[in-house]
Structure 1
C-alpha cells in the first residue's frame, strides 16, 4: 500500500470509529499511533505518542482551557446566567418575540465566559425555555433560538474551538479570540433579525410584547453587571495588551469566583461540583488535543495534504473556488460529525492548501469555526439540538430541527459576509497588534 493509500485508509477508519461513538480523543490516538507504527514501526509510534502527551500536558498556553471552563461553570451555578437573561429580556423584551431575542443575547453574553456551545445551550435553555413555554411561545421558535444561540459558544471568545485550532495551526490564540468578537456579534444580530422576521410573518408564534418600566430595566442591568465586568476585564485586557490570553483566563476565573462568593451566590457546597465538572471537561479537551497531535505526524508521513493540494492545483481551481469547496465540505461533514471531530480531522489536511494560496490563517480559522457551528444545528447529528431536547422534553426532535432552520440560513448569510469582507474578522486583531 502506498503512503497516500495508508492516509486515506486511516481517515476511513477514523470516521468509522467516530460513527461507532468511540470517544474522539481515543479515536484520534488509535489512528495516529496505528498509522505511524505501520509506516515507521512501533517504536516511532510509541515515541510520538509519549512525547506528544508530555509536551501538551506541560504546555503553559493550555492553562487557558480549565480556567475559562471554570469561569463558565461558576457563572452557571451561581445564577449569573439567569441575571444575564433577565437583563437582556428587560431591555429588548418590549419587542415582539423579545424573550426569544433575549435568549439569543443571553447566549452571546454567557459565551463570553464559557467557551462551550453545549454549556451555553444547556445553561440558557434551562433558564429561558420554561419562561417562553409559560407565556405561550411556539416550541419551534423557542427551541430554535436557544439551539442557534448556543452555537455562539465556540465563536465568541473565550472559545474552545479557537484553542484547538490554534494548537493545530500554531496561530496566535490572542488574535483568534479578537477575530471572533465581531463575527460573534454579527451572528447575534442576524439571529435576532431572524426572530423578528419570523414573528412579523407569523405573529401567532410569539405573544404580544410587554411594556417594561425603566426602573425594572436598570434593576436587572445592575444584576448582570458583575458578569459583564468580568468579561470586560478579561477580554478587554487581552485587546489592550495588559494580559496574555492565559493570564486573562486566570484573572477572569479569580474575579468571578471572588465576586460570586462575596455576593453569596457561591458556596463551598456548589463550588465543589463546579470544580469537578471543570476537571472532566478539561480532561476531555486535552485528550482530543493529544490525539490530534498524534494524528498530525501520521498525515504528514502519508503526504495526503500535499497530494490533495496538487490535485486541486492540477484541476485548475482558483483560490476562492477552492475555499468555497472546503467550506462546502465542512457543511457536509457537519451532518454527521460533531465540532471537535471536524476540526481535528480536517484542519491538518486543509491547512497546507489554505496556506499555499496565501489566505490569512486567522481569517480562515473564523470561517471554519462558523461552519463548524452550523454543524451543531444541522440534522441528523446537530449536537445542540439534542442538548436542547434534554430541557424541552415535550417538544419532538423534528420540531426543534424545523425551528433551527431559519437560523441555519442566517448563519449562511453571516458566513457569506465574512468571506466577502475579511476585515470583519481581522479589524480587531490587526488593530491590536499594530
Structure 2
C-alpha cells in the first residue's frame, strides 16, 4: 500500500467519523484500525494496540499532564485567582486599571496553570462582573478576558508545549523556557492594545477606580501563593533540580496546601477539583492513546517523511513552507481545538518543518501562538464561549468576537516578530544550557 493511499485514507475516514459526530479520540482510533490490521493482522494488532494504549497511561512524562490540570482546577475553585485579580486591579490607580489588572492576572495565572480555558474561566469569572459594574465597554471587557486566557498557553507551564514536546520528542524544559519572553511580550502587547483602545474610544474605559489599596497582608495573601507556586515550577525545572513531572507533583501538593490555608478552598471544592481532573483526563487520556495509534500508522508507512520530501521537491523556500503551515493551522483552528490538532497533524507537520531547516524549539513557540489564535476564532473558539457563558447571555457572542480582534492582531504581530527575530524564542534557552 502506497503512502499517499494511507494518508488520504486516514484523512477521509477521520473526516467521515468526525462529520457523523463521533468524538475525536474514537474517530482517530477507528480511522487507524483498518491500516493497523493491514500491517499486523487481527490478533497481533489487538495485542500491539493494547500495549501502545497501556504505554500511554503509564508513561512517566505524561504524568505531568493530570498534575498540571489538577493544579489549575484547585486554583480555579479557591480564591487564589480572585485574590490575584483584586490585587492587580486595586493596586494600580490608573484609568483602565481593571483591564490592565485582568491582563496581569491572566499572565500570573498562566505562570502556574497551562490551560487557556481554565485561565479565562477563573479570572473572567471574577473580572467580568467587576468590569461590567464599573462601566467598561462589553466588547473591551470580553475581548480582554478571552484573549488574556491564552497567555496560559504560552507562559510556562503550558499543556500545549508539553504535548508538543511529547509528540516531537524535544526538551520540555527548553520549550517552557523558550515561551517566557514571547509570553511576556504578548502580555505587553495586550496592555498597549488596551491603552490605544482607551485613546481611540475614551468612553469605553471609565476613570481610575478609587477603591482602597490592598494592605500588606492582602498583598501577601494574593501574590504570595502564585509567586511560590511559579517559583517552585520555574526553579526546579530550569535549574535541573526536577523533571517537569516531579515539578508538577511538588507544585500540585504546594497548591493544595496554599488553597486550603489562604485560598479558602473547601473539602467540597477539593473533591470537585479531583472529579473535574478525572473528567478532563478521561478525554485527554483517550485522545493521547488514539493519537499514539494514529501516529504509529503514519510512521509505519512513512507518511510524514514522504510529505516532507514531496514539499521539498517543489523547491519551496523555507519561508513559503512556514507561511503555508501557519495558514493551515489558522484555518484548521476554526474547526478543531488545539489538543486534537496537536495529535492529528503534528506528527506529519514537524518533520516537514525540520526538513525545511527550522529549529523545533523555535517552531514550538510559533506553533503555540497559532494555537492561541485557534481558541479565539469561531466557530469553535473555546475561550469565546467561556466568556459568553460567564456573562450569562448579557454579552452576545458577536461582541466577544469583535472584542478579540485587536488582540488577535497582537498574536499575528508576535508571530511576525518571532519569525523576524528568532532570538525572542531561542535566546533564553541558549543561555540556560
TM-score scaled to structure 1, two decimals?
A: 0.94
1:388 and 2:387 are equivalent in the alignment:
yes
Name 2:415's counterpart in structure 1. 415
Name 1:88's counterpart in structure 2. 88
Q: How does 1:257-336 map to 2 (within 5 A)?
A: 257-263=256-262, 265-336=264-335
Q: Are the counterparts in 2 of residues 168 and 293 from structure 1 also a CA contact under 8 Å? A: no
TM-superposed CA distance for 1:97, in Å, is: 2.2
Name 1:76's counterpart in structure 2. 76
TM-superposed CA distance for 1:139, in Å, is: 0.9
Looking at structure 2, the residues matched to 174 and 278 of structure 1 have their Cα atoms a distance apart, in angstroms, of: 23
Looking at structure 2, the residues matched to 211 and 326 of structure 1 have their Cα atoms a distance apart, in angstroms, of: 48
Deviation per residue, 1:255-304 (Å, 9 max, x gap): 11122223372232221111111122222222211111110111123433
Q: How does 1:50-129 map to 2 (within 5 A)?
A: 50-92=50-92, 94-129=93-128
**1:378 counterpart SS class:** coil
Q: How does 1:6-405 map to 2 (within 5 A)?
A: 6-92=6-92, 94-211=93-210, 215-216=213-214, 218=216, 220-224=218-222, 225-263=224-262, 265-392=264-391, 393-405=393-405
**2:150 counterpart SS class:** helix
Deviation per residue, 1:121-162 (Å, 9 max, x gap): 111111110001111111101111111111122222221111
Deviation per residue, 1:207-259 (Å, 9 max, x gap): 1123566x527454222212221111222221122222111111111111122
What number of residue pairs does the alignment pair up?
431
In the superposition, relative to structure 1, how do residues 95 and 13 fare at CA in structure 2: closer, same or farther (>3 Å)?
A: farther
TM-superposed CA distance for 1:20, in Å, is: 4.2
Q: Are the counterparts in 2 of residues 339 and 375 from structure 1 also a CA contact under 8 Å? A: yes
Q: Are the counterparts in 1 of residues 303 and 348 from structure 2 also a CA contact under 8 Å? A: yes
Looking at structure 2, the residues matched to 35 and 168 of structure 1 have their Cα atoms a distance apart, in angstroms, of: 21
In the superposition, relative to structure 1, how do residues 431 and 44 fare at CA in structure 2: closer, same or farther (>3 Å)?
A: farther
TM-superposed CA distance for 1:96, in Å, is: 2.6
Looking at structure 2, the residues matched to 360 and 43 of structure 1 have their Cα atoms a distance apart, in angstroms, of: 41
Looking at structure 2, the residues matched to 264 and 365 of structure 1 have their Cα atoms a distance apart, in angstroms, of: 34
Looking at structure 2, the residues matched to 401 and 63 of structure 1 have their Cα atoms a distance apart, in angstroms, of: 35
Q: Are the counterparts in 1 of residues 84 and 105 from structure 2 also a CA contact under 8 Å? A: yes
Which sections of structure 2, spanning at least 5 residues, go unmatched?
none
TM-superposed CA distance for 1:114, in Å, is: 2.1
TM-score scaled to structure 2, two decimals?
A: 0.94
Looking at structure 1, the residues matched to 34 and 137 of structure 2 have their Cα atoms a distance apart, in angstroms, of: 50
TM-superposed CA distance for 1:16, in Å, is: 3.8
Q: Are the counterparts in 2 of residues 147 and 404 from structure 1 also a CA contact under 8 Å? A: yes
TM-superposed CA distance for 1:381, in Å, is: 1.7
In the superposition, relative to structure 1, how do residues 264 and 192 fare at CA in structure 2: closer, same or farther (>3 Å)?
A: closer
Looking at structure 2, the residues matched to 271 and 386 of structure 1 have their Cα atoms a distance apart, in angstroms, of: 25
Deviation per residue, 1:343-368 (Å, 9 max, x gap): 11211111111121232111111111
Q: Are the counterparts in 1 of residues 18 and 27 from structure 2 also a CA contact under 8 Å? A: yes
**1:313 counterpart SS class:** helix
Instruction: State the superposition RMSD in angstroms.
Output: 1.9
**1:182 counterpart SS class:** helix
In the superposition, relative to structure 1, how do residues 380 and 255 fare at CA in structure 2: closer, same or farther (>3 Å)?
A: same
In the superposition, relative to structure 1, how do residues 423 and 16 fare at CA in structure 2: closer, same or farther (>3 Å)?
A: farther
TM-superposed CA distance for 1:340, in Å, is: 1.2
In the superposition, relative to structure 1, how do residues 39 and 88 fare at CA in structure 2: closer, same or farther (>3 Å)?
A: same
**1:192 counterpart SS class:** helix
Deviation per residue, 1:163-186 (Å, 9 max, x gap): 211221111111111111211111
Looking at structure 1, the residues matched to 428 and 21 of structure 2 have their Cα atoms a distance apart, in angstroms, of: 39
Q: Are the counterparts in 1 of residues 75 and 255 from structure 2 also a CA contact under 8 Å? A: yes
Which sections of structure 1, spanning at least 5 residues, go unmatched?
none
Q: Are the counterparts in 2 of residues 87 and 223 from structure 1 also a CA contact under 8 Å? A: no
Q: Which moved more, 1:42-51 or 1:417-426?
A: 42-51
